[in-house]
Amino acid sequence: MLVWFVVFYLLISSGIGVYVATRVHNTKDFALAGRTLPLPIVIATVFATWFGAEAVFGVSATFVKEGLRGVVADPFGASFCLIIAGVFYGTKLYKMNLLTLGDFFRIRFSRSIEVLTTLCIIFSYLGWVSAQVKALGLVFSLITDGAVSEPVGTVLGAAIVLTYTTFGGMLSTAILDFLQMITIIAGLLFIAWIVSGMTGGVAATVAHAAAAGKLNFFPGADAVEWFSFLGAWMTMMLGSIPQQDVFQRVTSAKNAKTAILGSVLGGVIYFAFTFVPMFIAYSATLVDPEVFNGLIAHDSQLVLPTLVLNHMPVLAQSIFFGALLSAIMSTSSATLLAPSVAFSENIVRGLFPHLSDRALLRLMRTTTFGFTCGVLVFSLTSDASIFKMVENAYKVTLVGAFVPLFLGVFWSKSTTQGALVSVCGGVLSWVAIELLVGKDSLLPPQMIGFCVSLLGMVVGSLLPQKMGVPGRIGA
């Protein structure tokens, strides 16, 4: 019954996505849903895009092992990112009527900066999308009791999401996000209600977590712990802002006010609701300590789904996995679409400036297929956890794209030379520290890369101006 429910759910979701695709007629429809989305859809697509595999599997598993301190990146950094990005994009970039973030870098700086920052953005999605399709493989393996292996499930899940994303783009994604948000919230709240009855109530579970030190948020007096804590927080909070999927969701709104309000509310709901899977996963350690403490040591990502499969009725299992698939599919479609649109618009179109809109739309769809193939190779060969895949994804945009984006908007003296030094200096210093020092570094490598990027923008912009070298200044 569980397997057939999942099959039915996937068919319905794919059918809706393909049907909505009949309303996609140009690149603006495909990339930004025609900039027509009302407030409820914007809230839903912002929430559902981020509430994916890492929120259900990764964050909950990390909380069970490390407590609140371990999830500073997500949901704390992630939700702050959505709020900041909503205000920033809604007030500063919405009226520019851009298709991608790369367009801003070209207009503000130059074609070279457009290409470099777009490559950083595209590369960052590799880990994020891989985490989603890897989670789909895990789900299919669990519900079929191993009849479908994780690698086969990964390929199958990627093919399903690819189908409606390729045809419908942002419009299909947004409509499905709205429906999937309802499924996610209702399903996980129902599971939380059932599991709270097994543990003596919410208050008893929270009290147990507090006594175990799981609710301690800030590190102790150790400097290395504090740097690691701040590095994780800023990686997600700042590194996620120059992301095409966040930009698409905000600027797909019908007006600037809707863009700001939708992103802020979506971020707040995301922050609050991420604690639900954390509560469910921690409750599992109280329901059956021996089994679930063993899972934590072996693979903590299995704690939550194992609880549902072993201790819930079939109806609850169906609701849970329906909600879980909703969360993963919504994030998968968004993260497949964003880099494909960015690559087509900001890399290829610059080489073929006379490309028609219809040809560009075909290119975006073809690129989506190609990027999915690359993601599958990475997800099938990487042994990183879902949480780490997502957390690591934003390091490259933190060191390579955040400073040029923010200072490009707020600092009128920033120049193309400064942006070039910022991107190259930030990325190269980060990579060098990762390779040469790694975990032995006092400061997290991405924090060093961020500081170099900031310094590079300031020095690279001001020094040529002092020397009388002409540069592109101002927006």
The pLDDT value recorded for residue 48 is 76
* Residue 253 main-chain phi, psi, to 5 deg: -65, 160
**Quick one: pLDDT at residue 468?**
67
* Cβ–Cβ < 8 Å for 372, 336: yes
Q: What is the pLDDT along the chain (475 residues), one digit of tens a residue?
A: 677 777 777 777 767 766 766 666 667 666 666 677 889 888 888 887 777 767 777 788 888 888 998 889 888 998 999 999 989 988 888 888 888 899 999 999 999 999 999 999 988 888 778 877 888 888 888 888 888 888 888 888 888 878 767 765 666 666 767 777 787 788 888 888 988 988 888 999 999 999 999 999 888 878 888 998 999 899 989 998 998 888 887 888 888 899 899 999 999 999 999 999 899 889 888 888 877 777 777 777 777 788 888 888 888 888 778 777 776 776 777 777 788 888 888 898 888 888 888 888 888 888 888 888 888 888 888 776 666 666 677 899 999 999 999 999 999 999 999 999 999 999 999 999 988 887 777 889 999 999 999 999 999 999 887 776 655 554 4
Residues 185/49, Cβ–Cβ less than 8 Å: no
Task: Say how many C-beta atoms besides its own lie within 10 A of residue 148's C-beta.
Answer: 20
Give the model's pLDDT for residue 431. 92
180/185 Cα distance (integer angstroms): 9
* Residue 113 CA: distances (Å) to CA of 117, 154, 418: 6, 35, 10
Bridge-partner residues for 253, per DSSP?
37
The pLDDT value recorded for residue 475 is: 44
Distance CA 431, CA 429 (A): 6
The whole-number pLDDT of residue 472 equals 55
